[in-house]
Amino acid sequence: MPENLMACPVCGEEVVEFFAHAYDKEYFTSDEKYTYVRCPTCTSVYLHEPPADRLDFIYPPNYYSYGHVEDSTALTERVKRRLDRRMLRKVFDSIPGDNLRVLDVGGGSGWSLTVAREACDRVAETHEVDLQEAAAALAEKAGHVYHCGPIEEFHSDDKFDLIMMMSIIEHVPDPAKVMGRMRDLLSDNGILLIKTPNTDTLDARIFRNRNWGGLHCPRHFVLFTERGLGMLGDKCGLRMVDSYYTQGAPQWAIGVMGLMHDRRLIKMTPERPAYQHPVYEPLTALFAAFDFARAPFAPTAQMMVSFSRS
């Protein structure tokens, strides 16, 4: 383990503790061993010395979100789309006005924006911000405005009524800078909706030292508990409006598949990463049902948190 661990990127705490070692068991971009650290003050788990300057390396061309086009024949995709649509309808019910502007951050081809349009007929403009140039054509074909570049450098003269960060805040090395940028882009009555892994959950405890899927190593730089994410929001001028736990089936599936790969029960390769393996979909279906069943009794693998300007 490194002797001098970097300070917490969320609260600045310098006295931190070792959390886990992990390897890239999804895309096999390297054999490097990565170190994750936990902050006892804000409960954040973060990657020591994240490879933020090697994004092209850790996000290979076959990364799942770059070419995501929903498969209408897949049961898990149909169920997810229905649940997302229902969730977004509730969010839109809390946002007043017509001709709503929606921004999605890090969503690749913009499939979440398409669901947002389906959920609310008041959505007039949909914008996607992502780093991958190859996703632009798919996003624009779906009717979204595509902006290629880091969110920290994105500017808009008009504010957004809904900003979605679905499984993205954990991918940035400086989440406070990104959250501050979100506040600047949010309209007075707007909502910032964040979906992110929850580190205070059963799958994290089981797979902590076995390449827990929530680490998505080395692409997840900072992970949170509900309390830690709320602290980050307060720091950035955002007020938590609502929070709840939801299923995190991919995290479970990746953890199980990593064990199966290590024991030579299945074989994953850079050419056929975890999400393209035939056992991935049945495992995600199984663990989605498991998380939904235990949700009334315990925190599950993912959390959904919404913020407004404070």
pLDDT in tens, 20-76: 999 999 999 999 999 999 999 999 999 999 999 998 899 888 887 665 445 444 566
Average pLDDT over residues 94-108: 95
pLDDT at 172: 93
145-150: long-range contacts, CB 8 A cutoff, minimum separation 24: 146/110
User: What is the DSSP pairing of strand 45-47 with strand 222-223?
Assistant: antiparallel
Which residues are CB-contacts of 241 (< 8 A; sequence separation ≥ 6)? 94, 191, 306, 307, 308
On the CB side of 108, how many CA atoms lie within 13 Å of its CA? Answer: 16
Q: Which of 195, 200, 175, 180 is nearest to 38 (CA)?
A: 200
| pTM exceeds 0.75 | yes
Which CATH class name applies to 60-198+229-309?
alpha beta
pLDDT tens figures, 224-252: 999 999 999 999 999 999 999 999 999 99
How far is 139 from 127, CA to CA, in rounded Å?
Answer: 9
